[in-house]
Structure 1
Amino acid sequence: MPDDRRTVLADTAIGVLAEAGIRGLTHRAVDRAAGMPPGTTSAYYRTRQALLTALVRRLVALDQAELQGIGSRTPVPQSPEELVAGIAAFVRRRLTGEGRRRSLARYACAIESVHHPELQEILVPRDNAGRQVVHDFLTAQGLVDADARTITLLTCVDGLVFDRLVNGGSVSDGEIRGLVAAALR
């Protein structure tokens, strides 16, 4: 657990949001979940909007660190099956444990950002090493529109994750294989 109290509170807020939804995200709920005295969260984040903004910034930082790590330790796949295996592993992480918690919080924040443009600015998709691996694979396959196909493929993967979070179940390698095949057509 991080030592910095602001980070601890933001991490705790991610968990509260994932468990209780946007209406359950309150200063008091974060205090309770963090095991801190009442008023602690409010002392660091005076308004609900300040708390939500801190949560979103932390969520993006955690996601970026994960995606950068994937790219730094993952060579460009040499075959579609290698890409399928990499994406499937990523999806499994997004649907279980800590990844599930962050995914639930991320989607709640995305919906909330419709009404709070300042959150949209923070949530804008960023370049990262994980995305670059997919792009480099598609480029190596001779696709001239690898940029657009990378975005389409990853958006479809994101949609599968969202669907399984809402409706239950897992994502099969066959589903990922179909998306990769479509990106290669």
Structure 2
Amino acid sequence: MSKPTDRRTVLADAAIAVLARHGVRGLTHRAVDRAAGLPSGTTSAYYRTRRALLTALVRRLVALDQAELQEAGQRTPVPRHPEDLVAGIAALSAQRLTGEGRERSLARYACAIESVHHPELREILTPRENTAREAVRAFLTARGVAEADADARTITLLTCVDGLVFDRLVNGGTVSPTDIRALVAGALRPEPPADARR
């Protein structure tokens, strides 16, 4: 991915890096100026308040995540077998635990916590449709999951994977294919008959 030249985007990317490395308390206009290699006062000229800076950061984070998921979905055909889906999710999880992906993951979870107190951030962070999500849903319906149920199972599966990524960020380690295999098996489990649920 080429480096952005637009000043607002450069500052938002620097803010993501600062948040990932220093946490919410470390996210200051001066710290972003330093991280971007720009003169003191540049960030505050573009984003006058901390709230404005945080909102720009979250918008940029979501745009980068969406681009990553769109690309992943377009690069990989709809999985035909459970192991194909396991491999695809494992690759994305590894991407989110290393390098730039790890930095974005740390920033994303910090923003998620912050959004508890700032509903406008929560609205920006709400998961959106993308080709990767569509591929999971298409896989489930192709394997016999009712269309009405496939969306809920897709959300549950991806939320659980997100939880595994969070756990490995905090505690170390990787998301193993075995972890993902169990989640995929759960998403494919047949719904019990209505009378069995009573």
Give the shorter-chain TM-score range.
Answer: over 0.9
Helix, strand or coil at the partner of 1:84: helix
In structure 2, the partner of 1:50 is 52
CA distances 1:119-142 after superposition (whole Å, capped 9, x unpaired)? 011001101111011000001001
In structure 1, the partner of 2:196 is none
Residues 84-103 of structure 1 aligned to structure 2 (within 5 Å): 84-103=86-105
State whether structure 2 residue 184 is matched by structure 1 residue 180: yes
Structure 1 residue 35: Cα displacement? 0.8
The one-letter amino acid paired with 1:140 is: A
* Structure 1 unmatched ranges of 5 or more: none
In structure 1, the partner of 2:166 is 162
The one-letter amino acid paired with 1:30 is: V
Structure 1 residue 171: Cα displacement? 1.0
Helix, strand or coil at the partner of 2:23: helix
The one-letter amino acid paired with 2:53 is: L
For residues 73 and 170 of structure 1, what CA distance do their matches in structure 2 show? Answer: 23
Aligned pair count reads 185
Structure 1 residue 41: Cα displacement? 0.3
State whether structure 2 residue 43 is matched by structure 1 residue 4: no
In structure 2, the partner of 1:73 is 75
Helix, strand or coil at the partner of 1:127: coil
Helix, strand or coil at the partner of 1:37: coil
For residues 39 and 171 of structure 2, what CA distance do their matches in structure 1 show? Answer: 37
Helix, strand or coil at the partner of 2:96: helix
CA distances 1:131-177 after superposition (whole Å, capped 9, x unpaired)? 01100000100101111110110010000000001111111111111
State whether structure 2 residue 111 is matched by structure 1 residue 109: yes
CA RMSD of aligned residues (A): 0.6
CA distances 1:19-42 after superposition (whole Å, capped 9, x unpaired)? 000000000000011111100000
In structure 2, the partner of 1:128 is 130
Structure 1 residue 7: Cα displacement? 0.3
For residues 165 and 12 of structure 1, what CA distance do their matches in structure 2 show? Answer: 21
The one-letter amino acid paired with 1:56 is: V
For residues 78 and 6 of structure 2, what CA distance do their matches in structure 1 show? Answer: 36
For residues 121 and 76 of structure 1, what CA distance do their matches in structure 2 show? Answer: 29
The one-letter amino acid paired with 1:66 is: E
In structure 1, the partner of 2:157 is 153
For residues 130 and 171 of structure 1, what CA distance do their matches in structure 2 show? Answer: 18
Structure 1 residue 80: Cα displacement? 0.3
The one-letter amino acid paired with 1:41 is: T
Structure 1 residue 181: Cα displacement? 0.8
